[in-house]
């Protein structure tokens, strides 16, 4: 799991990342990457709306995204905020498909 220091917690930070961040769209997710206003480790946030599915499905997708980001954390440069928005197609995706979609965008936008 992601440590507290690696998570975006405030709504204003989510909004800033989505509005000002560079965007990478995949088939399952949309990834926004923006330089953080604070020095420190890379931080991640997740947006999984009701369009993805029921609460059980949304929580499963969120847990999978967190696990993918925890694996990819060493490859992401420090000092960036990453927000990942899950698309409805992510509800039916396997973990490996979801991982490849997220890792591809992280390599393009936030690689160290």
Q: How confident is the model at residue 112 (pLDDT cuts 50, 70, 90)?
A: low
**Residue 39 in this model has a pLDDT that exceeds 90:** no
pLDDT reading at 12 higher than 80:
yes
Mean per-residue pLDDT, 50-59: 97
CA atoms of 93 and 26, how far apart (whole Å):
12
Spell out the domain ranges in the chain. Answer: 4-109
Question: What distances in angstroms separate CA 19 from CA 4, 53, 60, one per listed residue?
Answer: 23, 25, 26
**Among 3.30.230.10, 3.30.830.10, 3.40.640.10, 2.60.40.10, what is the CATH number of 4-109?**
3.30.230.10
Q: Quote the tokens at residue 71.
A: 């694996």
| pLDDT above 70 as % of the chain | 99
The mean per-residue pLDDT over the stretch 80-105 comes to: 96
User: What's the whole-number mean pLDDT along residues 38-47?
Assistant: 91
């Amino acid at each position: 799991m992601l440590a507290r220091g690696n998570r975006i917690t405030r709504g204003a930070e989510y909004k800033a990342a989505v509005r000002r961040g560079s965007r990478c769209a995949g088939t399952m997710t949309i990834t926004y990457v923006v330089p953080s206003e604070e020095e420190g480790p890379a931080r991640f946030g997740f947006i999984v709306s009701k369009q993805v599915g029921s609460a059980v499905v949304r929580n499963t997708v969120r847990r999978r995204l967190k696990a993918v980001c925890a694996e990819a954390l060493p490859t992401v440069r420090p000092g960036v905020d990453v927000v990942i928005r899950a698309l409805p197609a992510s509800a039916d995706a396997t973990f490996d498909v979801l991982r490849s979609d997220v890792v591809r965008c992280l390599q393009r936008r936030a690689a160290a």
